[in-house]
Chain A
Amino acid sequence: MKKENFLKELRKHNPKALDYVFDNYGNLIFKVAYSVLNNRGISEECVNDVLFKIWNNIDSFKREDDKFKSWIIIITKYTAIDMLRKEQKHDNDISIEFYDKEDEGVEIYLEQKELRKEILDEIIKFDDSNKEIFIKRFFLGYSIKDISKITNLSENAISNRIRRGREKIIDKLKRSIS
């Protein structure tokens, strides 16, 4: 298996292509998972989950081949945060530290899987820039400071956008729940 054809082979569900992904990106997936979960055992589980997602969802990856690494990192971070949410439910000692008090409203809803789709439905309606901010904040665990650096928008601007979007989402959820 070569760098030039492993994605094509992965789309054909050639198992050697998954071996290639693990050989070349396994440690990266583990690092990303560990950065969120801070636990080797759960990070190992996360690597398995991510490989399974890559195998099942490779058709969702439609960008240029050189963006595959980014795609893997995003899937891993999202998966790790999802696992952390589940762990947190069973263990009060684990806490998700990257949300401030104001964001807890959305976070509480995110814990309920049936509401996550509704949250996503709302986020999809945002413009590309706000969509990216919300995905990074609530699904990939980025801090406002980090998002500010990446987007070249001030922290205040990011906070305001998040506040407005959060209000929209919570309002929508409250209406749909009631």
Chain B
Amino acid sequence: MNNKREILDIVDNINIDEDEFKDIDVELNDIEKKRIQKTYRKNYKKKISIKKRIAKNAIIAAGLAVVIYLGGLTAPAMASNIPILRSIYDSLGIYDEYKDYTKYIGEIAKADKYEYSIEEFMVTPYKSLLGIKITSDYVIPDNHQGFMISAEIGGVHWDSSSSNQYRIDDHTLIVTEEHNYNNKVPKKANIKVDIHSIDRNDNANETIGRFEFKANFDRSYNEFMSININNVEFNKYGIKLSEINSSIMGTDIVSKIQSKEKDEEEYLSKNDRLEGVLKVDDKFYGGDKYSSTRSSILGVKGVAITKIDNLKFNEVNDAKDITLLVYEAKYTQDELFEIGIDDGVKSDKIMEQGISYVKEYRFEDGTMGLFYGLERTNDTIKVHYKGKESDIVLLSRNLKIYSDKSMGKYYYPTIYKDSDLKDEFIIEFKNIPQEDMSLNMTYGFNIHNDYTLMGEYKIK
């Protein structure tokens, strides 16, 4: 337990005089108030992704048995054969599907109090995935602010990244870092990876671990396809659809941003309204959005990507028909933040057949969404959804099922339209363990948004 947490736990029982400060004659002025609001709202947005991570960490830390295996980590074996790493990759949902694609690197770098070891690495034309073990002789505090991990493949530098940090014990963390590259990386290349601590109690320069190695990624790189999208522009948002890239790490809907807006934050705050949903044969897929932009005196330029983790190369490759549905959201994320509203839930959570879920949601436009007809058989969960056609944006982007017991792993649905009933969808989750699960659609504020179909574009 770190000292700040302990302090907060201890002070919970301390009594003080609440009026002690009422006569201090200072108040925040309007400028200071606005500045503070801006700062904590920015911090809140960052915490959205970290919150997911913390939940996973807590679950893994609770699995004490895994700590026992750590002694075996020094053996130069494939990471996938090491129980602790296997269980972590498994919990991430990447082990089984990626085991034939990742390369064991086994390089070690030491810097200050940390030792970094690159355990696994995988590369596709626009993404890479690193599995890194970080150890220290000192206790790594459980509120450690994390590590910055940079990657460069054949001279192509990463543009955006997301990571998961798993606390194994007081001295060991496992970090998986997914990097995204706006430019295509080469299959066979010299690879540079830098890691350093970004914790406020560390000196970043002293904690830099540097790696340089050569690698050739045949399979993970080759199972990839890119489909160009021509002549689809949304000028009022400065967005031009560019391509669909699909690999073993998922599928991206890529758009180019070119706006006269001078400031990136301002651009996103006003224009981040488009949502893409892919209809692949009869199934619907959506995902989280992110953008990577740069601003200059000419304006904001970059890419916006909808990241669909559960749509893999094979399905895109085998599909006969792919259509991109583009929806316009009533509110940007910043506008939603301002509005806030309540959590959109009408009924309380119920437990049916070991699934905890909310049956009814109320939306901003006054319509309702209803889950019904839940069936759980063997390892499959099927549920019907009745709402309106545009609810597919929320369903495909937000709906996940998870169990705290299975180390925070998320299961994504297959969603298709009920051909007999208008505005109804059938949702199926497969390979679900036989334990209590939660079905959730309320993550983030998108539940309060209202979506209008702007166009359907045939991709394949």
| Chain A residues engaging chain B, CB cutoff 8 angstroms | 1, 12-16, 18-19, 22, 26-28, 30-32, 34-35, 40, 43-44, 47-48, 51-53, 55-57, 60-63, 69-71, 73-75, 78, 113-114, 116-117, 120, 123-124, 128, 131-132, 135-136, 139-140, 150
Residues from 7 to 25 in B contacting A, C-beta threshold 8 Å: 7-18, 20-22, 24
* Contact A40 B32, CB 8 Å, known A117-B6, A123-B10: yes
Q: Closest Cβ of chain B: how far from A15's Cβ, in Å?
A: 5
Are B15 and A70 touching (Cβ within 8 A)?
yes
Are A73 and B18 touching (Cβ within 8 A)?
yes
Are B36 and A22 touching (Cβ within 8 A)?
yes
Checking B16, B27, B143 against A74 with a beta-carbon cut-off of 8 angstroms, the contacting residue is B16
B69 interface hit (Cβ, 8 Å): no
Are A48 and B36 touching (Cβ within 8 A)?
yes
* Contact A55 B7, CB 8 Å, known A15-B337, A35-B21, A47-B36: no
Are B11 and A15 touching (Cβ within 8 A)?
no
CA distance A13 to B52 in the complex (A): 12
B3 interface hit (Cβ, 8 Å): yes
Q: A19 to chain B: which residues have CB within 8 Å?
A: 37, 340
Chain B contact-residue range equals 35 or more
CB-based closest 9 A-B pairs: A16-B340, A60-B8, A31-B24, A117-B3, A74-B11, A31-B21, A51-B40, A34-B26, A116-B3
Q: A16-B341, A48-B43, A139-B11 are in contact. List 18 more A-B contacts (CB 8 A).
A: A15-B41, A15-B44, A16-B340, A27-B27, A32-B24, A35-B21, A44-B36, A48-B39, A63-B12, A73-B16, A113-B3, A120-B6, A120-B10, A123-B10, A132-B14, A135-B7, A135-B11, A150-B15
CA distance A43 to B143 in the complex (A): 23
Q: A123 to chain B: which residues have CB within 8 Å?
A: 10
CA distance A116 to B139 in the complex (A): 13
B297 interface hit (Cβ, 8 Å): no
* Contact A113 B201, CB 8 Å, known A60-B5, A74-B11: yes
Are B343 and A14 touching (Cβ within 8 A)?
yes
CA distance A134 to B41 in the complex (A): 35
Query: Which among A31, A35, A63, A123 has the highest number of chain B CB atoms within 10 Å?
Result: A31
Query: Can you list 15 A-B pairs with a CB-CB distance of less than 8 A?
Result: A12-B343, A13-B51, A15-B445, A18-B40, A34-B26, A44-B32, A56-B47, A57-B4, A62-B12, A70-B18, A73-B16, A74-B11, A75-B11, A132-B15, A135-B7
Are B10 and A128 touching (Cβ within 8 A)?
no
* Contact A136 B14, CB 8 Å, known A48-B40, A52-B43, A55-B44: yes
B33 interface hit (Cβ, 8 Å): yes
Are B18 and A131 touching (Cβ within 8 A)?
no
Q: Closest Cβ of chain A: how far from B291's Cβ, in Å?
A: 21
Q: Closest Cβ of chain A: how far from B440's Cβ, in Å?
A: 12
Q: Closest Cβ of chain B: how far from A123's Cβ, in Å?
A: 7
Q: B5 to chain A: which residues have CB within 8 Å?
A: 57, 60
Q: A40 to chain B: which residues have CB within 8 Å?
A: 26, 32
Are A78 and B11 touching (Cβ within 8 A)?
yes
Q: Closest Cβ of chain B: how far from A41's Cβ, in Å?
A: 9
Q: Closest Cβ of chain B: how far from A72's Cβ, in Å?
A: 9
Checking A56, A61, A70, A113 against B16 with a beta-carbon cut-off of 8 angstroms, the contacting residue is A70
Are B10 and A26 touching (Cβ within 8 A)?
no
Are B20 and A135 touching (Cβ within 8 A)?
no
Are B13 and A128 touching (Cβ within 8 A)?
yes
Q: Closest Cβ of chain A: how far from B357's Cβ, in Å?
A: 16
**Contact mask B39-56 → A, CB, 8 Å, 1/0?**
111011001000100000
B28 interface hit (Cβ, 8 Å): yes
Q: A22 to chain B: which residues have CB within 8 Å?
A: 33, 36-37, 40
Are B12 and A55 touching (Cβ within 8 A)?
no
Checking A1, A47, A71 against B28 with a beta-carbon cut-off of 8 angstroms, the contacting residue is A47
CA distance A56 to B14 in the complex (A): 20
B236 interface hit (Cβ, 8 Å): no
CA distance A26 to B6 in the complex (A): 24
CB-CB nearest in chain B for A30: B28
Q: A43 to chain B: which residues have CB within 8 Å?
A: 26
CA distance A135 to B28 in the complex (A): 28
Checking A15, A51, A117, A150 against B340 with a beta-carbon cut-off of 8 angstroms, the contacting residue is A15
Q: Closest Cβ of chain B: how far from A104's Cβ, in Å?
A: 20
CA distance A60 to B13 in the complex (A): 11
CA distance A71 to B15 in the complex (A): 9
Are B3 and A31 touching (Cβ within 8 A)?
no
Are A150 and B201 touching (Cβ within 8 A)?
no
B320 interface hit (Cβ, 8 Å): no
Q: Closest Cβ of chain B: how far from A53's Cβ, in Å?
A: 8
Checking B16, B28, B44 against A26 with a beta-carbon cut-off of 8 angstroms, the contacting residue is B28
